[in-house]
A and B are shown apart, each in its own frame.
Chain A
Amino acid sequence: MEEAIRLTYDVSPEDFTRAGEASSDVKGKLKRLGVPPDAIRKVSIAMYEGEINMVIHANGGRITVEITPQQIRMVLADQGPGIPDIEQAMQAGWSTAPDEVRNLGFGAGMGLPNMKKYTDEMKIDTVLGVGTTITMTVNI
């Protein structure tokens, strides 16, 4: 793997049956590239949480993944409502998930904390009414 590999995924809104497909695809590709299982698991968990948040909270969006021998960098950009209070959103247990998705098992308020826990770096840029971009890095 000499050069960086770049992957782009469009995440469609409100489709829970397809949510997780981008993350699963990335997982498969990382496996084939021979990335260590530990790093693959971190990327899979963090990216899935971000992907599903885009579906539930932000009407979908776009994910770009950049893979180099040193690290995996994920950029999740949406044009959703934005996050009014990042500190509150990052708290374990905080969730504004509606009932219909809670019935599917979402809404524990652990997605963002998982993203933080399983990545080496995480940055949230958000503007109310404009959207949210979350950048996460996992070192190999």
Chain B
Amino acid sequence: MTVRELTEKQLFHVVNMGNDTDREITKVFCCDLLSIAMGKAPADSAWVTVMGNVNTIAVATLADAACVVIAEGAAVDEVARIRAKEQGVTVLATQEPIFDAALRIHQELNG
């Protein structure tokens, strides 16, 4: 499933549509601590977190995550939105808890 295909399923609200939306999502990854995500998030993963600040966007770019999903209705602040647009990072959002959001993606991936 590509990032675009995930957004088209309308499971999540689209905060920012990134550049590289044809890339394949390989895995789901959950963690709120940035340097754990940095070290462990697989490249091309969908990263689910409640941290909606600019540092999440930086880590997603540098660790090569396919997209970010902000769960629990957590706020995505303005600086983060701007950076996501600049860096072309796809950011999605949902009211669902982290586990439920991740499970949905997992189910779509393993269809």
Interface positions of A (Cβ within 8 A of B): 16-17, 19-20, 23-24, 27, 37, 41, 44-45, 48-49, 52, 104-111, 113-114, 117-118
Contacts and interface: CB of A to CB of B under 8 A. Distances in A.
B53 interface: yes
Interface of B: 32-36, 38-39, 43, 49, 51, 53-56, 58-59, 61-64, 79, 87
A108 B55 contact: no
Contacts of A23: 58, 62
A7 B59 CA distance: 21
A118 B51 CA distance: 24
B38 A110 contact: yes
A20 B58 contact: yes
B59 to A, nearest CB: 7
Given A105-B56, A118-B39, 11 more contacts: A16-B53, A20-B54, A20-B61, A20-B62, A23-B58, A27-B62, A104-B55, A105-B49, A107-B33, A108-B35, A113-B39
B35 A110 contact: yes
Nearest to A114: B39
Contacts of B38: 45, 48-49, 110-111, 114
A110 to B, nearest CB: 4
Nearest to B53: A104
B53 A27 contact: no
B53 A114 contact: no
